[in-house]
Structure 1
Amino acid sequence: MAEPPRTTVRRDEDVHFELVAGPSTYRARTDRPVQYVTVANGQGTVLGYVWANDEDDAAGWTVRKAGGDEAFNRGALYVSRLRDAKARGISPTAALAELRQYCDPARPSHVVPGSLTEAPSLAALQERAAGD
């Protein structure tokens, strides 16, 4: 049985793309000192660190390599909270201060009370997370 010939419809209109902005985010890099808090799971295992630097409008989540998949997955919550804070127009360190309220060890992950500290750079914090 013969197949009917295919007809390809071609369009000759110009295609116009519109640039659509994604969610508001802080910068993901800084070479300056960062303030950070430690995040742990319900058993007290350190999963990673939430960090911030106002001078570069930067903040983010640094996963602790030894925390494995759980550390990576739990970080999404803190990244989401940082995006919400940026959308509200608050500074990175103010966002970090807000995150410190999530300190209930009964939760799947929490900010370790009293863990706010400073690292000389984001690179130094990342080295700590890789070596812990």
Structure 2
Amino acid sequence: MSLQDQPRFETLRAPEGYPRTTESAVRFIPVLFGDTVVGYLWAAVTDDAARYVARAGAGDAGPNAGVAWVRRLRWAKANGLTPLRALRHWVGRAEDVRAGHLPVDAERELPGLSALERLAAD
């Protein structure tokens, strides 16, 4: 292999995650760095879906935090947490340098994922 060859990356093993979409209502909590909302962690109310949505106005901090939240949600699924339990698992903990923090008493509900995606689009 020379320096001009394109490396090929393969995922050998990645823990299973929750489904990424839902037709259900969603509960969500804003993900903060300091006082700045960078995204939203959500879980479906009636099925097994959960994910992180970056806030468009947060710049690079939004998608960067998403990497940490994907890892955390995979850990939660592997450890048997329901999506709603996973959503609440990190509430009130100290701010993580990659994932930010979830404030206490900030959980809300919207009628669907599309409504949350519109909220995150600002």
The interval holding the TM-score normalised by the smaller chain is 0.7 to 0.9
Note if 1:27 corresponds to 2:10: no
Alignment counterpart, residue 93 of structure 1, candidates 72, 84, 102: 84
Identity %: 37
Residue deviations 1:75-131 (CA, integer Å, cap 9, x gap): 2112211110000122100111102142x35x4411122211111101100000002
CA distance in 2, matches of 1:39, 1:110: 6
CA distance in 1, matches of 2:37, 2:92: 17
What is the one-letter code of the residue matched to 1:49? Y
Query: Unpaired segments of 5 or more residues in structure 1?
Result: 1-19
Alignment of 1:60-79 (within 5 A): 60-79=51-70
Q: In 1, are the aligned partners of 2:27 and 2:45 still within 8 Å (CA)? A: no
Q: RMSD of the TM alignment (CA)?
A: 1.7
Q: Number of residue pairs matched?
A: 109
Q: In 2, are the aligned partners of 1:37 and 1:115 still within 8 Å (CA)? A: yes
What is the CA-CA distance between 1:21 and the residue it aligns to? 6.3
Q: Which has the larger radius of gyration?
A: 1
Query: Unpaired segments of 5 or more residues in structure 2?
Result: 1-11
Note if 1:112 corresponds to 2:103: yes
Name the structure 1 match of 2:4. Answer: none
CA distance in 2, matches of 1:24, 1:54: 20
TM-score (norm 1): 0.75
Q: In 1, are the aligned partners of 2:25 and 2:45 still within 8 Å (CA)? A: no
TM-score (norm 2): 0.81
CA distance in 2, matches of 1:100, 1:31: 25
Runs of 4+ in 1 over 3 A off after TM superposition: none
CA distance in 1, matches of 2:112, 2:82: 18
